[in-house]
Amino acid sequence: MNNSNEAHQMAVPMSNKRYLPLLLLNYAFLFVGSLSSSLLSKYYFIPKGSSIWVSTWVQSAGFPLIIIPILLPYYLFKSTERKPFARFTPKLLVLSIFLGFMLGLNNLLFSWKNSYLPVSNSSLLLSSQLVFNVILSVIIVKQKITFMNLSCVILLTLSSVLLALESSNNKPHGLIRAKYFIGYFSTIGAGLLFALYLPIMEMVYKKAYCYAMVMEMQLVIIGMVFDGGFVEMKREGSGVFDKGERVYWLTVASNVVSWQLCFMGTAGVVFLTCSLTGGICMTALLMMNVVGGVVAYGDEFGGVKAVSTVMCGWGFCSYVYGMYAKNKMIKYLNPDSYITEIIDIRPDILIHDHHQQGRSNEF
């Protein structure tokens, strides 16, 4: 019994040395990917880019890039003894395909959103996904509701309601009311679907025992929604896009890379923490997207939108402070568990990782 306790205590610092840098790296991927993909996706439609299918295609076309973090640890860095796709069961394949279909539909709704709404409006509307995420996380993965969760949800919901009340007075010039509301409800639909996607992803990722396996599943998920689109892109690049063919292909390539960073970051954060943490991080990044839309494209930023942004930030900060207070109390009551709680790493990953080290060094 004593040996087991000593082993568990040793597992925390050993695992933190591995997982904390990995967690921070995925946070960086999520930050860079979310902000750049939002701005670049909107930019595609400005110089007469008009294909919803191309906008959807670029979100999945970069899936071969995920092969890099799958192959390099084994073949180049020699940091793991697990071969790529080892123990990738048919059940994991089926679950990945199912998630792929969900992600494909979400990408289509996201493209409609970018076509019809300003970046700042759509970003604030997407903050409502956290409301759905909390509810669905309670149902699917038994997430506990706390005061900080509830207050965060209320503030973010109110910020979205304020934006909706102003929507009829803040349409882009030349956009008819019907298309504006198509974009509006597509955004809400994308938020709801992605909120469902996150807890299902968390539930599925519990069947994966290492980060490399998560990336392998992600390769299948995004590969499922890759459906070509080269003919449409060639037509747009040569005769439709105002900025010229060179800028067109640079825009497409940048979109492809930025979306893969966003998807990899999301998958990594959900695997290493939980779906609610992933949803909250993405909501926080929406505030950056609002600012980015104002700076890059001159989106209107009136009083109502300013209040909505402040409330969105207030909700996120209240959650972060609640986590800080909770972790501070945990450190005071039980210093040994503090490291695990403060970075919000799943305990099953830490313990399993320690057990695996006796057999192989799996990444």
Encode pLDDT of 283-324 as tens digits.
778 777 878 888 888 887 888 778 888 887 888 788 778 777
What is the tens place of the pLDDT at every residue in 238-262? 878 888 888 999 999 999 999 999 9
Give the pLDDT score at 357.
44
Of 10-24, 83-97, 178-192, the one with minimum mean pLDDT is: 10-24
Of 28-37, 41-50, 235-244, 315-324, the one with minimum mean pLDDT is: 315-324
SS3 234: helix
Orientation of helix 303-333 relative to helix 119-126, angle to 10°: 40
Q: How confident is the model at residue 354 (pLDDT cuts 50, 70, 90)?
A: very low
Contact 308, 159 (CB under 8 A): yes
Contact 73, 363 (CB under 8 A): yes
Stretch 83-91: mean pLDDT: 88
CB atoms within 10 A of CB 358: 6
Domain spans of the chain, in order of start = 16-354
* Mean residue pLDDT across the chain: 78
Q: How confident is the model at residue 353 (pLDDT cuts 50, 70, 90)?
A: very low
Token pair recorded at residue 245: 């063919």
Token pair recorded at residue 100: 């792929």
Cα distance between residue 111 and residue 41, in whole Å: 8
Give the pLDDT score at 263.
92
Dump the DSSP string for 106-138. HHHHHHHHHHHS-HHHHHHHHTTHHHHHHHHHH
Residue 12 has pLDDT above 60, yes or no: no
Residue 57 has pLDDT above 70, yes or no: yes
Residue that wins the pLDDT comparison between 326 and 293 = 293
Q: How confident is the model at residue 340 (pLDDT cuts 50, 70, 90)?
A: very low
Residue 111 has pLDDT above 50, yes or no: yes
Residue type, position 122, single letter: S
Q: Which of 124, 274, 257 is nearest to 201 (CA)?
A: 274
Residue type, position 18, single letter: R
Handedness of CA 82, 261, 263, 248 (dihedral sign): negative
Residue that wins the pLDDT comparison between 260 and 150 = 260
User: Which DSSP letter does residue 172 get?
Assistant: P
Give the pLDDT score at 347.
55
Contact 31, 286 (CB under 8 A): no
Cα 280 versus chain centre, distance? 10
Stretch 137-153: mean pLDDT: 83
Token pair recorded at residue 289: 């997207």
Token pair recorded at residue 306: 């300013």
Cα distance between residue 332 and residue 329, in whole Å: 5
Residue 11 has pLDDT above 90, yes or no: no
Residue 54 has pLDDT above 50, yes or no: yes
